[in-house]
């Protein structure tokens, strides 16, 4: 509670939503890494998960649909001292914002993106998303979707991110540990959290209660190492319907805002300008 804007409570999330568990894991990860909330700035787009930063007592930009990562890019390059965290969802990050997601991963810009993947558009009332499993029902797929979903974590690894992990809301400790690593990683970090939307996904897909939903996560979650072994043994079919969890990559490489700062240091011999809008005189 000490991290929340008490004057904004109660929040808008439905009973049984995974957002609370995830935010709690975020604060645990942040504390265990010894990071003060003062160092953090949050950015989000549009959707249920994007409403999280508005409840947290830190500077935050609640932006347009899909564009959070591009706003975060300007914020981070403008002031590299900020620890910039993006809260986003599957529709926000992977559909309308898919291009920004892969380009930020390609640049390896030091952002921590927490993508709450509930496989549905919750805010607008239950339309299918780019991560909805094949066959699942949404208001825009009343007969079950035939679209193939994105494997988001694999996509972001392929695009060049330096830290990627996926967990579900039934693994809050592993999740907070990954968030800790993500906050500490000097590069693009992507933490995908498979979360429950009992209101709009569960009700339509025979998982009526939050308990049914998290039970399904428990039954279907399989560790990445085990999954890799199944694939190596040619038993890929056993992974159908499973949620592969764990770390997908943890490999440091050159970071974008550092490169921008170093270039300016090299070209003008001075530190990269920050907060220069407040100066009344500038050297030309």
Q: Enumerate binding residues for other proteins (CB under 8 A).
A: 5, 7-8, 38-39, 41, 43, 53-54, 57-64, 67, 69-79, 81-82, 99-100, 103, 260-261, 263-264, 266-268, 270-284
Residue with Cβ nearer other proteins (14 or 260):
260
- Shortest gap between Cβ of 272 and other proteins (angstroms)? 6
Residue with Cβ nearer other proteins (35 or 58):
58
| Residue that the structure tokens 């001292």 belong to | 81
Element (H, E) at 73: helix 68-78
- Shortest gap between Cβ of 21 and other proteins (angstroms)? 23
End-to-end CA distance of the chain: 47
Whole-angstrom Cα distance, residue 112 to residue 97?
Answer: 16
- Shortest gap between Cβ of 254 and other proteins (angstroms)? 15
- Shortest gap between Cβ of 163 and other proteins (angstroms)? 21
Residue with Cβ nearer other proteins (143 or 284):
284
Residue with Cβ nearer other proteins (100 or 180):
100
Going from the C-alpha of 67 to that of each of 10, 157, 203, 269, the distances in angstroms are 27, 20, 30, 33
Residue with Cβ nearer other proteins (61 or 155):
61
Q: What is the CA radius of gyration of the chain?
A: 19
Going from the C-alpha of 58 to that of each of 40, 42, 62, 84, the distances in angstroms are 7, 7, 12, 11
- Shortest gap between Cβ of 134 and other proteins (angstroms)? 29
Whole-angstrom Cα distance, residue 180 to residue 177?
Answer: 5
């Amino acid at each position: 509670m000490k991290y929340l804007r008490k004057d904004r409570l109660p929040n808008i999330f439905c009973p049984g939503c995974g957002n609370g568990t995830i935010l709690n894991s975020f604060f645990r990860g942040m504390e265990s890494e010894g990071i003060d909330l003062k160092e953090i700035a949050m950015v989000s787009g549009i959707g249920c998960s994007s409403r999280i930063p508005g409840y947290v007592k830190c500077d935050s930009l609640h932006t347009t649909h899909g564009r959070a990562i591009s706003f975060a890019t300007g914020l981070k390059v403008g002031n590299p001292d900020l620890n910039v965290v993006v809260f986003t969802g599957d529709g926000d990050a992977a559909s309308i914002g898919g291009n920004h997601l892969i380009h930020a991963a390609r640049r390896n810009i030091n952002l921590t993106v927490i993508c709450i993947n509930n496989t549905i558009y919750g805010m607008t009332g239950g339309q299918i998303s780019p991560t909805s499993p094949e066959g699942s029902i949404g208001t825009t797929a009343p007969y079950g979707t035939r679209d193939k979903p994105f494997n988001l974590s694999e996509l972001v690894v392929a695009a060049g991110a330096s830290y990627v992990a996926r967990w579900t809301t039934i693994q809050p400790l592993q999740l907070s540990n990954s968030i800790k690593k993500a906050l500490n990683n000097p590069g693009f970090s992507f933490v995908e959290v498979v979360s429950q939307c009992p209101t709009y996904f569960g009700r339509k897909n025979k998982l009526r209660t939050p308990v049914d939903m998290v039970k399904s996560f428990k039954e279907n979650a399989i560790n990445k190492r085990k999954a890799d072994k199944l694939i190596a043994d040619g038993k890929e079919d056993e992974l159908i319907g499973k949620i592969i969890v764990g770390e997908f990559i943890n490999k440091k490489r050159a970071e974008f805002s550092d490169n921008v700062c170093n270039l300016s240091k090299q070209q003008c011999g001075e530190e990269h300008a920050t907060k220069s809008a407040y100066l009344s005189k500038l050297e030309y």
